[in-house]
């Protein structure tokens, strides 16, 4: 089936607004994407120079605690017994 009334000039005039609107949206999204990329590049850390080492943290490093023996950080509550005679 084909369209009963096809007037190309009328269709052109009816589609100008939506096409211009879609073009503006696409250009805006591309502009925001480029702005985001440039912002990320400007705030990125400087690359390592020769001789510098990367300090990459392993996942969970902040969750680990140093384990110490209980006697090392508290004073003994009971005095030591004298040696046997």
51-66, pLDDT tens digit by residue?
666 666 666 656 555 5
pTM of the predicted structure, to 2 decimals:
0.49
Q: What is the mean pLDDT of residues 20-30?
A: 98
| pLDDT band for position 39 (cuts 50, 70, 90) | very high
Per the model's pLDDT, the better-predicted residue between 12 and 55 turns out to be: 12
CA distance 24 to 17: 11
Name the nearest CA neighbour of 45 among 34, 56, 60, 31.
56
Per-residue pLDDT at 55: 65
Per-residue pLDDT at 37: 95
Alpha helices in 43-76 (DSSP H): 70-73
């Amino acid at each position: 089936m084909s369209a009963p009334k096809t007037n190309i000039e009328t269709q052109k005039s009816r589609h100008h607004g939506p096409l211009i609107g879609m073009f503006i949206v696409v250009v805006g999204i591309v502009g925001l994407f480029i702005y985001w990329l440039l912002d990320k590049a400007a705030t990125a850390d400087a690359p390592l120079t020769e001789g510098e080492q990367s300090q990459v943290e392993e996942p969970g490093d902040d969750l680990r605690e140093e384990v110490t023996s209980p006697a090392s950080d508290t004073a003994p509550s009971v005095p030591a017994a004298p040696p046997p005679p």
